[in-house]
Amino acid sequence: MKNYILLRRISLLLLILIIFQSCMSTRVVSEYDNDSIVQHHKTSWSYAWGLITPKDINPECESNRMNAVTSSTNLGYILISAITIGIVVPQRIEWECAPVDTPIENL
């Protein structure tokens, strides 16, 4: 009977942990007042615990025009990482390019 209660508590704890760890993200922003609504994204895959690094992503932004970058993961990506014991780690990268500043002419 005691083993059943312990197993039930552990199962409930694991279920709660799985449900509440569904998404995690980190965001780096250079300017919050961006007029850009175009958001680019790509899924990046790391292999062998980071020994095989993913290819660099070409953001296709003009020089010094990167406005915001978000690295995120979800429950599916976490499960892939856990099942492969960290051999395969996917994450979603999203970025925004700032619009080109148009010069204001003197009146």
pLDDT at residue 107, as a whole number: 59
Tell whether 7 is covered by a domain: no
Contacts of 59 (CB under 8 A, 6+ apart): 40, 66, 95, 97
Tell whether 44 is covered by a domain: yes
Average pLDDT per 10 consecutive residues for the chain, totaling 107 residues: 84 76 75 70 90 85 82 85 91 85 70
pLDDT at residue 67, as a whole number: 83
pLDDT at residue 96, as a whole number: 87
Segments in 1-107 forming alpha helices (H): 2-20, 75-83
* Residue 78 buriedness (CB in 10 A; 0-12 / 13-18 / 19+): middle
Q: What is the pLDDT of residues 86-96, one digit of tens each?
A: 899 999 999 88
How many structural domains is the chain composed of? Answer: 1
Tell whether 73 is covered by a domain: yes
Tokens of 51: 């020994």
Tell whether 48 is covered by a domain: yes
pLDDT at residue 30, as a whole number: 79
pTM of the model as a whole = 0.66
pLDDT at residue 45, as a whole number: 92
Structural domain range at position 29: 23-97
